[in-house]
Chain A
Amino acid sequence: MTSTSEMTYRDALNMALREEMSRDPSVVVWGEDVALYEGAFKVTRGLLAEFGEERIKDTPISENTIVGVAVGAAMGGLRPVAELMTVNFALLAMDQIVNHMAKIRSMFGGQTFLPMVVRMPGGGGSQLAAQHSQSLESYFMHCPGLHIAYPSTPADAKGLLKSAIRDNNPVIFLEHELLYNSTGEVPNDPEFLVPFGQANVIRSGTDVTIVAYARMTILALQAAADLEKEGISCEIVDLRTFSPLDTETIIESARKTGRAVVVEECWRTAGLGGDIAHRIHEACFDTLLAPVKRVAGLDVPMPYSRKIEKICIPRAETIADAVREVVSRKY
């Protein structure tokens, strides 16, 4: 029996950083306010005291260069873990992420590789308005050359971040701001890794498959608990990573249940849920009992007021409604 400790998503990420920095001296961490201030969300708490200023470094507010310096350092043999204070600021770094980090190995004919991670908290729901509430996972998923993870639980936060740091590919590591305080059992084993490309069937069921990730998985679990009372059995596939995407597990589940709802926090139009729904339609057309339904963020810049912000982001109720609609469809 592996020992576990109950801890927050935040502390699980901190544990992963700490363990990997202890394990491998080539792991270095930098970002805005990550050292002395210990991170805007305190994910890097205690690292400066433990590892010193050579390995955990504050940077100027220069997002594109935060990523670019990591690209160079990775090429030079280090394993940098760069933090962008929030995913919203990744838009300032898209040149280094898309034009450099994602392409360098390929355009240089495979002669180098980039063992680097760019961490970025994101997601909406904290009344931070249009510029600080975005979910940009589809932007990254559209670009080949990146690995992308987005954990939903503290255990996955630890295991996926450790895998990301050990990955020889460049990794975009998304963290949800509203999950930092969520708690769960986390393995204490410093070799506990969650592999990329393996979705997690976090709840088994028979009537419908809900495909979700990060905070959407937590909401789907809440919806599933309510639906169970109505006699609807939900299976939930937590994606864990967008790249590699575990299409196989999604398809397998959708074949089994015959119905699927895809939940994404990002904007609906050209969102990743459309791609996943299409994969299900293409592979399961003959066995589906209803068209795949999507639950997504509204196609609007996020408003500040909590009353109207709430309706812009998927909720357990909207997921449950979508499931009811898919299940009620008779052929």
Chain B
Amino acid sequence: METRLRATLPDHELLRLYEQMVMSREFEESCAEQYTKGHITGFLHLYSGQEAVAVGATAGLHVDDYILSAYREHAQAIVRGADPRRVMAELFGKATGICKGKGGSMHLFDPNLNFMGGYAIVGGQLPIAVGLAFSAKYRREDRLAACFFGDGAVNQGTFHESLNWARLWELPVLFICENNFYGIGTEVHRSSALASIHKRTCGYDIPSEKVDGMDVIAVYRAVKHAAERVRETSLPYFIEATTYRFRGHSMADPAKYRSAAEHEVWKARDPIPALAKRLIEEEITDAGHLEGILGNCRTVVQEAVKFAEESPWPEDEEVYNDIYV
């Protein structure tokens, strides 16, 4: 059942969601190009296809809420408000990067945005989110910790330990599993005895739901509702957002384990044209305006690349800084 867009959000908010998804896609596609050119090195995990999850979820949270994610987190940081120029500079390994070039693609962080990091050990961020939620509750702060992770994380010990702990200590954690159906090349049903991930939470007495992660409005509504519930009850909640990455696990992965037919099915559900179609059908905007948004995003991304290219490398002495206080 599809709700009319205007019943959910005002026009400018809807257009903002669209713009954020386009920005995320353009940023990621530009990253792919810069990787091919050798400007971005190391691991590069792109978010193309999953934009509706980060964009919808972030819109459903308060700015004071903590956000943590895994290593496919460029979009989550940028949607939260991170400067695309500084994110791109980080990926280039430059001193102007959001983490001074020390973190790279997998470790974006900006405490001023309550974006508490990208983590590259699968499941590593879950206990940390629980800890942030504990500190918020202990300090009587009105904020929750929203923790993104992939379907691969649900078989780590930290997943089970963190769900149990959050419920036991009654902490405001919103667990958001981005189920893109593959942990690198292993499909969910080949790694999880119960492939319907949201059903696993019954073992921890945590309510959960599944949402269409290709529909930004559905994600927004689910997260907004869940966040309100977490805030009211100070209890954890769990959302499984089913989605699909249009690229391989990382730039090194040609994704040969997925069929072209499967890819096409999901490609047809691309969240960006899907929202564009609805925005036009419901006469919220027209194709020309959406073209303008795309043009603006491309300009921002081009500027980010230029900024990264022109930025200085870190000084050698910098390796000893920031380890200890």
A interface residue numbers (CB < 8 A to B) = 28, 54, 57, 59-60, 62, 64-65, 67-78, 80, 95-96, 99-100, 104-113, 144-145, 147, 168-169
Is the pair B157, A64 in contact by a Cβ cutoff of 8 Å? yes
A54 to B139 Cα, complex, angstroms: 11
Task: Assess the B117–A70 pair: CB atoms within 8 A.
Answer: no
Interfacial chain B residues near A57, Cβ < 8 Å: 169
Give the residue among B131, B138, B158 with the most A Cβ atoms within 10 A.
B131
Complex CA gap A312/B97 in Å reads: 51
Residue-by-residue, is B133-169 near A (CB-CB < 8 Å gives 1, otherwise 0)? 1111011000001000000000001100110110011
A71 partner residues in chain B, CB cutoff 8 A: 127-128, 131
- What residues of chain A lie closer than 8 Å to B265, measured between beta carbons? none
Are B323 and A69 closer than 8 Å at their CB atoms?
no
Taken together as a complex, chains A and B put the C-alpha atoms of A69 and B128 apart, in Å, by 5
From the candidates A64, A65, A112, name the one contacting B111 in the complex (CB within 8 A): A112
Interface residues of B in 204-227 (CB under 8 A from A): none
Query: How far, in whole Å, are A69 and B139 apart by their CA atoms in the complex?
Result: 15
A96 and B127: CB pair below 8 A? yes
Distance from B134 Cβ to chain A, minimum over Cβ atoms (Å): 5
Instruction: Please report the C-alpha to C-alpha distance between residue A71 and residue B132 in the assembled complex, in whole angstroms.
Output: 8
How far, in whole Å, are A113 and B119 apart by their CA atoms in the complex?
A: 16
B98 contacts the other chain (CB 8 A): yes
* Chain B residue nearest to A78 in the complex (CB): B135
**What are 30 A-B interface contacts by the 8 Å CB criterion?**
A28-B138, A60-B168, A62-B164, A64-B157, A65-B158, A68-B124, A68-B130, A68-B158, A69-B127, A69-B130, A69-B131, A71-B127, A72-B128, A72-B133, A72-B145, A73-B138, A75-B131, A75-B132, A76-B135, A76-B139, A95-B158, A99-B124, A100-B119, A104-B117, A105-B322, A108-B103, A108-B107, A109-B322, A111-B111, A169-B324
Instruction: Tell me whether A72 and B130 are in contact (CB under 8 A).
Output: yes
Q: Report the separation of the CA atoms of residues A113 and B324 in the bound assembly, to the nearest whole angstrom.
A: 8
Interface size range of chain B in the complex: 35 or more
* Residue among B117, B124, B322 with most chain A CB within 10 A: B322
Given contacts A59-B165, A145-B324, 19 further A-B contacts (CB under 8 A): A54-B138, A60-B164, A65-B127, A65-B165, A68-B128, A71-B127, A72-B132, A72-B134, A99-B121, A100-B128, A105-B325, A107-B99, A108-B99, A109-B99, A109-B101, A110-B321, A111-B99, A144-B323, A147-B324
B39, CB-defined interface residue at 8 Å:
no
Are A62 and B128 in contact, CB atoms less than 8 angstroms apart?
no
User: Are B124 and A70 in contact, with the CB atoms below 8 A?
Assistant: no
Binding site for A on B (CB under 8 A): 66, 97-103, 107, 109-111, 116-117, 119, 121, 124, 126-136, 138-139, 145, 157-158, 161-162, 164-165, 168-169, 321-325
> Chain A's nearest CB lies how many Å from the CB of B230?
16
Given contacts A64-B127, A69-B127, A78-B135, contact A109 B325 (CB under 8 A): no
Residue ID in chain B nearest A116 by CB atoms = B131
Name the residue of chain B whose CB is nearest to the CB of A76. Answer: B135
A76 pairs with B161, CB closer than 8 A: no
Interface centre among B128, B145, B157 (most CB of A within 10 A): B128
Q: How far is the CB of B82 from chain A (nearest CB, A)?
A: 12
Q: CB distance A65 to B103 under 8 Å? A: no
B323 interface neighbour in A72, A75, A77, A105, Cβ under 8 Å: A105
Distance (whole angstroms) from the CB of A58 to the closest CB of chain B: 10
In the complex, which of the residues A76, A145, A169 has the most CB atoms of chain B within 10 Å of its own CB atom?
A: A76
Contact partner of A111 (CB less than 8 A), chosen from B101, B110, B130, B132, is: B110
**How near does chain A come to B324, taking the closest CB pair, in angstroms?**
5
